[in-house]
Amino acid sequence: MRGTPPPIALVWAVWLLILLLELATPPGIVLGILYVVPLLLGASQRSTNQAWRFLLITCLATLVNVLVPLPIHHNIVPVLVDRLLVCLALIVTTVLVLNNQTLQRQRVALEVDLAQAQLRGEVIATLAHDLKTPVLGTLASLSMLENGVVVEAMRNSQQRCLRLINDLLEVFRAEQEGLQPQLQPCNLLALAQEAVSTVEPIAAQRQIALVLRQPQAASSQMPLNGDPSLLRRLMENLLLNAVHHSLRGQRVWLQLSCEPGGWHVEVRDGGAGFPPEDLPRLFQRFGQTGTGSRGTGLGLYLCRLISEAHGGSIRASNCPGGGARVVVLLPGAVG
C-alpha cells in the first residue's frame, strides 16, 4: 500500500547488516554513509527524540570501526577525519528529515483546516438557502391574508428568522472574503429613523417604546461616508438586542451625537445589563449577551465587523442606574 512504512525490524536488520560490513572491512574503507538508508527508511516511525538517539547510535557505530578490527591502522588521523565527515553527513540528513516531518505535519494540518473551512462554508450556504426559501414563502403567503394580531405576530417572527439568516450569511461572507463596505455619502439620521421603523413593530409586541434622540443642531442632516445597508443593519441589531433584554413597559434609546472625530451611535436599555463576566467576549463570534440568553451570538459580532469595516469602534458597558449601553464611534466629518 502506498505510504506504508517498512517494518521496524527491517530497518534494524539493514542497520545491522551495514554494521557487520563495517566491522568486516579495514578502517580505511568507510561504509558508514550507508547508514543513511535505515535512517531514511524508519524516519516516519520515529519521534524527534528517537531520531536523535538513532543518530547517536549510528555515529558511534561509524566511529568504532576506527578501532575494530585490530590492529589499529598505522595512521589513525585520516581515518578518523573521514568518519567524522560521515557523521556530519548523517547529522545533516537527520536535521533535514526532521524538518521535512515538521513541514509534512504543517501541510496535513493546513489541508484539514482548509477542508473544514470548505465544509463549513458549504453547510452554512446550504442551510441558509434552505431556511431562507420557506421563510420568504411564508412572508409572501401572509401578505395575502387579512390583517390581524396573529398574522402580524407570524410575520414579525418570520422577519426575525430572515434577519438571523442574513446575519449568518453576512458573518460567513465577512470571514471568508472580509467585510467590504460600499462607501457613499449617506444621512446617518435617516438611516437611524429607518432602523427604528423596522424594529418598532417587534418592540410594540413587547410593549417597549423606542426613543430616537439626535443633536439639536442636526435637524435633518447627519452626513457620513459609509455603507447605508450595513449601517442600518448595525443599528437594527443593536436595537433588537436591547429590546430582547428589556422588560415590558420599558424604553430603549437610540441616541446620535457628534463628537470630535466623528459620530457616536448609542443604544441604551433599562434591562438587567450585561453580566460583568460577559463583557470581554461580548463582541466575539457566538458570544452570548445577558443572563440566560438564547441568542445566536452573531448580532453583536456582526456589529463589531461593521464598525471596524468603517474604521470605527464599538464598546459596551452597564449604566450606573441599571441597564446596558452600547456605543459605536463612526469616524468622519461632522457637519
Burial class (CB in 10 A: 0-12, 13-18, 19+), 160: middle
Which pLDDT value is given to residue 294? 45
Band of residue 45 on the pLDDT scale cut at 50, 70, 90: confident
C-alpha cell at 162: 430572515
Tell me what the pLDDT averaged over the chain comes to.
Answer: 81
pLDDT at 274 over 80: yes
Which pLDDT value is given to residue 22? 83
Which pLDDT value is given to residue 156? 66
Per residue in 195-215, pLDDT (tens digit) is 999 888 888 888 999 999 987
pLDDT at 288 over 70: no
Band of residue 264 on the pLDDT scale cut at 50, 70, 90: very high
Band of residue 129 on the pLDDT scale cut at 50, 70, 90: low
pLDDT at 65 over 70: yes
* 264/94 Cα distance (integer angstroms): 61
- List, in sequence order, every residue forming a beta bridge with 313; answer none if it has no partner: 329
HSE-CB for 57 with a 13 A CA cutoff: 14
Give the pLDDT mean for 116-129: 66
Angle at 237 between CA 233 and CA 241, to 5 degrees: 175
Which pLDDT value is given to residue 326? 95
- Give domain 185-331's CATH superfamily: Histidine kinase-like ATPase, C-terminal domain (3.30.565.10)
Domain boundaries, the chain: 8-109, 185-331
Give the pLDDT mean for 243-255: 92
Which pLDDT value is given to residue 254? 96
Which residues does 131 contact at the CB level (< 8 Å), separation at least 6?
Answer: 161, 165
What single string gives the DSSP state of each residue in 132-144?
A: HHHHHHHHHHHTT
Tell me the whole-structure pTM to 2 decimals.
Answer: 0.56
Which pLDDT value is given to residue 9? 86
Number of residues assigned to the chain:
335
Instruction: Return the closest-CA partner of residue 90 out of 175, 12, 33.
Output: 33
Give the pLDDT mean for 238-247: 90
